Amino acid sequence: MPNRVVVTGYGAVTPLGLNVDDTWQNLIAGVSGIDYISLFDATNFNIRIAAEVKDFDPVSYLDATGARYADRFTQFAVAASLQSIDNAKLKIDDDNRYDVGILIGSGIGGLSSLSQQVEVLNRRGPDRVSPYVVPMMIPDNAPSRVSIATGIRGPNLSLSSSCSTGTDALGIAYKMIRYGEAKLMIAGGADAAVTPISVAGFSQAGALSKNTDPKMASRPFDAKRDGFVIGEGAAVMLLETLDYAKARNAHILAEIVGYGATSDAYHITHPAENGEAAAKAIEIALAGIDRSTIGYINAHGTSTLLNDVSETRAIKKVFGDSAYCIPISSIKSMVGHMLGAAGALEAVVCCKVINDRVIPPTKNLENPDPECDLDYVPNVARDSDVYVTISNSFGFGGHNSVLVISRYAEH
Amino acid sequence: MDVFEQVKEAICKVQPGIDAEKITPGASLTDDLEIDSLDMVELTLALEDALDLRLPDEELEGIVTVKDVISLVEAKLKEKDA
């Protein structure tokens, strides 16, 4: 019998708060975390807005020396991971340190550290480059630093699937626990790519909104949407077998009951317009689950012209006419697109929806798009007693990744 | 600023979490100050920048204590003046 996999803790560092609770309260209140870029001088950029994490102090999680040699995405990952362990009241000691694994993905890695050192290399030569550039740049530095900070000695891995990263990290961690590769996993995603090269690159690819009003730019499913707003942060969940959670009397927040992943095999940045492979991913994730129990879909909902239509088509393909009865929302309207962290935060939000019985809104949905005609919970949070949720993530390169998260019940 | 103070400042720059009281001439870089091989390169870069000199890798080989760093830096500063 495969193991049942439950969520017993989570942590997050987001544009709307330095922990899950603050982030959640702001999401429910419809607050936007998007503002003018402060992390670098964007005067000469055509894109000057982003969803930045504000007032984050890495020293409170890593001491001053540790923080100096950790890229910002790793700092976020360590903070969110330590929060998740604390939230789950998990004690890591000699009895369990090999039973816990870490899988924290990053879509981009330590781009900011790499960019700084490329500048040192070009201006001052190879013998001035920091010996820390490689560890700071590599995506797996995040899980490695979590291992070092906590004494966790199980498998420690990263994963990268563009904007699906956070969902895939949780999905693979779920599978590892389900099939006995680990008893507990710290899993999620982290990215900190509000950097000049990344903003310029995403902008040149036509992915970013050119709307100059920070609070209005991210408008998933709205007819006037014109791209996503780049965000940053980390979100991490502590997953464990139901048996382990019960044995240590852990408070169970939710259960992961399905994961599906497919590829479009189509284009390096565009999603396939018909949403066929995305629909297939949802169907795989829903295998064995009664579809009429789905009470909420946390959409990928990037606010790009293409994603929001193809995602809507995928949902309709799976649910037919009942698609119109399922509340769907995109928190990217408020936290922007946190890239590799997005899916992980959205999974945390699904747990909050289940437990707090309220659905966060899709902000800025004012002008209906005839091709996006489902119930996207526009602008105002909605009370709803939800049992089973779906979280969709899709990424550059055609990744389609879907988690199904349910309220925990004994049977 | 004397050379000891400059070395101390460089160590604090590359190891901002360190207890500055621990930085004494007799302190072992590895055992007392937890400076590993990566930190040693950072420290060298910081000293080279601060004092406008070069500390070649081969001359760093016998370095164990803060005093060893001070002696090497003093020798290099003397070479520069000569």
| Sign of the dihedral defined by the CA atoms of residues B2, B6, B12, B18, in that order | negative
Instruction: Give A-chain residues touching B14 at CB under 8 angstroms.
Output: 68
Find the closest chain B residue to A124 by CA distance: B49
Number of other CB atoms surrounding residue B5 within 10 Å: 9
Q: In what order do the strands lie in the sheet with A388-395?
A: A156-157, A100-105, A184-191, A233-241, A5-13, A254-263, A399-406, A388-395, A294-298, A328-329
Instruction: Give the SS3 label for residue A195.
Output: coil
Judge whether A124 is closer than 8 Å to chain B, CB to CB.
Answer: no
Name all domains of chain A by residue range, CATH numbers in brackets: 5-247 (3.40.47.10), 258-406 (3.40.47.10)
Strand partners, A296: A389
Find the closest chain B residue to A134 by CA distance: B38
Supply the CATH classification number for the domain B3-81.
1.10.1200.10
Question: What's residue A411's pLDDT?
Answer: 75
The per-residue pLDDT of chain A, averaged, comes to: 97
- Residue A154 corresponds to which tokens in the numbers above? 């199980």
How does pLDDT run across A212-245, given as a tens digit for each residue? 999 999 999 999 999 999 999 999 999 999 999 9
Positions of chain A with pLDDT under 50: none
Do B47 and B73 contact (CB within 8 A), yes or no? Answer: yes
Q: DSSP letter string over A275-302?
A: -HHHHHHHHHHTTTS-GGGEEEEE----
Instruction: Give A-chain residues touching B18 at CB under 8 angstroms.
Output: 65
Cβ contact, residue pair B15, A128, below 8 Å: no
Question: Can you tell me the mean pLDDT for B57-78?
Answer: 94
Do A350 and A206 contact (CB within 8 A), yes or no? Answer: no
Encoded amino acid at B81, one letter: D
Cβ contact, residue pair A64, B41, below 8 Å: no
Q: What is the pTM of this model?
A: 0.97
Question: What's residue A157's pLDDT?
Answer: 97
Question: What's residue A66's pLDDT?
Answer: 94
Instruction: Give A-chain residues touching B17 at CB under 8 angstroms.
Output: 59, 63-68
Cβ contact, residue pair B41, A131, below 8 Å: yes
Cβ contact, residue pair B16, A128, below 8 Å: no
| Residue whose token pair is 């800025």 | A364
Secondary structure letter of residue B9 according to DSSP? H
ipTM of this complex prediction, to 2 decimal places: 0.90
Q: Is A337 a catalytic residue?
A: yes
The CA dihedral of A351, A352, A357, A361, to the nearest 10 degrees, is -110
Question: What's residue B82's pLDDT?
Answer: 81
Q: What residues in chain B have their Cβ under 8 A from chain A's Cβ atoms?
A: 14-18, 37-38, 41-42, 45
Instruction: Give A-chain residues touching B15 at CB under 8 angstroms.
Output: 65
Cβ contact, residue pair A130, B15, below 8 Å: no
Q: Which of A68, A130, A135 sits opposite B16 (nearest CB)?
A: A68
Most A CBs within 10 A among B23, B38, B52, hence the mutation to make, goes to: B38
CB-neighbour burial class of residue B26 (10 A; exposed 0-12, middle 13-18, buried 19+): exposed
Q: Which of A67, A128, A131 sits opposite B38 (nearest CB)?
A: A131
* CA pair distance B41, B61, nearest whole angstrom: 12
- Residue A251 corresponds to which tokens in the numbers above? 């408070």
Judge whether A64 is closer than 8 Å to chain B, CB to CB.
Answer: yes
Question: What's residue A70's pLDDT?
Answer: 98
- Residue A241 corresponds to which tokens in the numbers above? 């077998």
* CA pair distance A185, A180, nearest whole angstrom: 11
Question: What's residue A347's pLDDT?
Answer: 98
CA-wise closest residue to B8 among B28, B26, B25: B25
* CA pair distance A336, A32, nearest whole angstrom: 9
Question: What's residue A331's pLDDT?
Answer: 98
Question: What's residue A95's pLDDT?
Answer: 97
CA-wise closest residue to A8 among A280, A265, A243: A243
Cβ contact, residue pair A66, B45, below 8 Å: no
Using CA atoms, how far residue B68 sits from A357, B24, B28, in Å, is 65, 11, 9
Question: What's residue A217's pLDDT?
Answer: 98
How does pLDDT run across A75-101, given as a tens digit for each residue? 999 999 999 999 999 999 999 999 999
* CA pair distance B10, A270, nearest whole angstrom: 49
